[in-house]
């Protein structure tokens, strides 16, 4: 039997000692709350802006070892999944916890394929946006709007209803994402083609014009599958946390996922790939890289696509994407900004500023170059992240809904404002 692990804490304000249980390398914040608690005084709180050292959940979905640069979905290394699986299989694995049997996979693929169409009224919702609406704004609104089309989705404890919403969300995301792209271009929305695979169908809805059948280059389809797999989940990141936090109110999954999309939109999260490409364009040429790096070191701006809250080593996804770049550029020709990116990486990896802070390229550093080579404008990059991440958000959401320990997310605060002030009416204040 393993010995019980504990932590003894002495409160120097009172001299009292407390023994806190340690489970899985963590103490419970509620046990900390017992320290110094009296009838009149609140117990000790833990102050952790940005949740840098607070575990909000137990999870069996994704494992990351940031120091070693390891990423696994349900225990399977990301490198093996990217090499040998496809996005729909990975989505199943994330959500249902096991690799599917042949029957399970075929049923899953069939279900997803036959739910790719959206209600025609959603088209009207999307048409209502201005011509220059950001596709992420359109995506998060239209996913939120889906909750009004499927009111039964509010029944989050019914497993069958839950499964139907999961299928709908994964199936419809490419349709909504592609339509937000076509909208900006003033082109007609393309309906799904159920003869095509998940990634092929997405490319068809994005790029098909008058040809009766869209046939993407298989190398590009494969690259998109790999990118989808790499982006499918990343444990308790800002958007997963948004989905869990909103989901903890027991709202329907469409509303919870649209909160995830909103979180992903920000430039410090999924919006970073868009920011990377704009940065590379602004730098423009290899010769201008040293001056740019100096600016970063002086605190003028950040080197976008570098650094990560968890990885203090090369992001394993960045390694795989760098390889995928070569395959895509074989088809599309080399993106001239690749040279600028490689020079940035070379200089940054040798520079003490980046080395001492353990800042390495993250998933967004090279993905933008591929997306641009595939003809996507930068505004679309985060949409390309949101589509596969929906699988991860749903896996996190299911885990939350089934976890008896979870409660409505409601952090504490340390109040720093005034108290018991006497209100002075405007007629007296403005004399
Ligand atoms: N360029 C320059 N300096 C940086 C960078 C960067 N990209 N990232 C961190 N630093 C510095 C930061 O200034 C700080 O230095 P000091 O200790 O001297 O004040 C130190 O490194 C620690 O930074 P931090 O902001 O405390 O670290 P964090 O864990 O809160 O932030 C991060 C993580 C990803 C927000 C940050 O590294 C960043 O802003 N990177 C650029 C944006 C980016 O590429 N985001 C994509 C993340 S990966 C995709 C995803 O999962 O969404």
Worst-scoring range by mean pLDDT, 47-61, 141-155, 297-311, 367-381?
A: 367-381
What would the pLDDT profile of 381-425 be if each residue is shown by its tens digit?
999 999 999 999 999 999 999 999 999 999 999 999 999 999 999
pLDDT the model gives residue 1: 63
Distance of alpha carbon 187 from alpha carbon 205, whole angstroms: 11
Distance spanning both ends of the chain, measured CA to CA: 76
Return the DSSP state at 313: S
What percent of the chain stands above pLDDT 70?
Answer: 100
Q: Is the CB of 231 under 6 A from ligand 1?
A: no
Give the residue, by CA position, lying nearest to ligand 1 atom 14.
Answer: 357
Over range 112-127, report the average pLDDT: 96
Give the contacts of 393 (CB within 8 A, at least 6 positions apart). 239, 240, 243, 256, 257, 260
Give the residue, by CA position, lying nearest to ligand 1 atom 3.
Answer: 302
Task: Report yes or no on 197 lying in a domain.
Answer: yes
Apex CA 117: angle with CA 382 and CA 183, to 5°?
Answer: 45
Over range 219-234, report the average pLDDT: 95
Task: Report yes or no on 278 lying in a domain.
Answer: yes
Question: Which two structure tokens, joined as six digits, stand for 284?
Answer: 């423009």
272 Cα distance to chain centroid: 11
Are the CB atoms for 104 and 80 separated by under 8 Å?
no
- 76-77 and 70-73 beta bridge pairing: antiparallel
Between the alpha carbon of residue 302 and those of residues 217, 269, 305, 306, 338, the distances in Å are 36, 13, 9, 8, 19
For 185, the domain range is: 79-404
Question: Which CATH number is 165's domain given?
Answer: 1.10.580.10
Give the residue, by CA position, lying nearest to ligand 1 atom 2.
Answer: 302
Cα of 148 vs centre of ligand 1, distance in Å, is: 38
Q: What is the mean pLDDT of the chain?
A: 95
pLDDT the model gives residue 270: 86
Scanning the structure block, which residue is given the tokens 């042949």?
102
Task: Report yes or no on 53 lying in a domain.
Answer: no
Scanning the structure block, which residue is given the tokens 């999309």?
261
- Is pLDDT of 59 > 80? yes
pLDDT the model gives residue 273: 86
What would the pLDDT profile of 306-340 be if each residue is shown by its tens digit?
999 889 988 999 989 988 888 898 888 888 899 99
Distance of alpha carbon 216 from alpha carbon 221, whole angstroms: 7
Q: Is the CB of 162 under 6 A from ligand 1?
A: no
Task: Report yes or no on 69 lying in a domain.
Answer: no
Task: Report yes or no on 57 lying in a domain.
Answer: no
308 is catalytic: yes
Distance of alpha carbon 263 from alpha carbon 77, whole angstroms: 26
Question: Which two structure tokens, joined as six digits, stand for 343?
Answer: 């020079």
Distance of alpha carbon 383 from alpha carbon 140, whole angstroms: 10
Task: Report yes or no on 267 lying in a domain.
Answer: yes
Q: Is 406 left (phi over 0), alpha (psi -120 to 50) or beta?
A: beta
Query: pTM value?
Result: 0.92
Domain count of the fold of the chain:
1
């Amino acid at each position: 039997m393993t010995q019980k692990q504990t932590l003894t804490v002495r409160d120097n304000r009172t001299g009292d000692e407390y023994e806190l249980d340690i489970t899985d390398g963590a103490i419970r914040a509620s046990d900390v709350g017992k320290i110094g608690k009296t009838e009149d005084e609140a117990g000790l709180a833990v102050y952790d802006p940005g949740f840098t050292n607070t575990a909000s959940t137990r999870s069996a979905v994704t494992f990351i070892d940031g120091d070693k640069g390891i990423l696994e979905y349900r225990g399977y290394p990301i490198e093996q999944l990217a090499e040998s699986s496809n996005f729909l299989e990975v989505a199943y694995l994330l959500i249902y916890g096991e690799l599917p049997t042949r029957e399970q996979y075929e049923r899953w693929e069939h279900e997803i394929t036959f739910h790719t169409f959206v209600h025609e009224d959603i088209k009207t919702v999307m048409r209502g946006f201005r011509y220059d609406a950001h596709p992420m704004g359109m995506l998060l609104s239209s996913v939120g709007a889906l909750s009004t089309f499927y009111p039964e989705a509010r029944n989050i404890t019914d497993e069958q209803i839950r499964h139907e919403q999961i299928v709908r969300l994964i199936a419809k995301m490419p349709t909504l994402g592609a339509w937000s792209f076509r909208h900006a271009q003033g082109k007609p929305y393309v309906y799904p083609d159920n003869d095509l695979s998940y990634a092929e169908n997405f490319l068809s809805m994005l790029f098909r014009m008058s040809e009766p059948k869209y046939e993407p280059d298989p190398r590009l389809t494969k690259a998109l599958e790999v990118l989808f797999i790499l982006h499918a989940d990343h444990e308790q990141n800002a958007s997963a946390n948004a989905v869990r936090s909103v989901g903890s109110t027991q709202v329907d999954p469409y509303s919870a996922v649209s909160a995830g999309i909103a979180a992903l939109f920000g430039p410090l999260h999924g919006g970073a790939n868009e920011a990377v490409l704009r940065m590379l364009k602004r730098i423009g040429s290899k010769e201008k890289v040293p001056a740019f790096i100096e600016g970063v070191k002086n605190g003028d701006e950040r080197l976008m696509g570098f650094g990560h809250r968890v990885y203090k080593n090369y992001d394993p996804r960045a390694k795989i994407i760098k390889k995928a770049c070569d395959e895509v550029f074989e088809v599309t020709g080399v993106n001239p900004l690749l040279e600028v990116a490689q020079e940035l990486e070379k200089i940054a990896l040798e520079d003490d500023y980046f080395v001492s802070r353990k800042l390495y390229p993250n998933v967004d550093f090279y993905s933008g170059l591929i997306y641009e080579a595939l003809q996507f404008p930068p505004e679309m990059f985060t949409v390309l992240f949101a589509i596969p991440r929906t699988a991860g958000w749903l896996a996190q959401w299911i885990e939350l809904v089934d976890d008896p320990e979870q409660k409505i997310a409601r952090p504490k605060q340390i109040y720093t404002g005034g108290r018991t002030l006497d209100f002075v009416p405007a007629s007296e204040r403005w004399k």
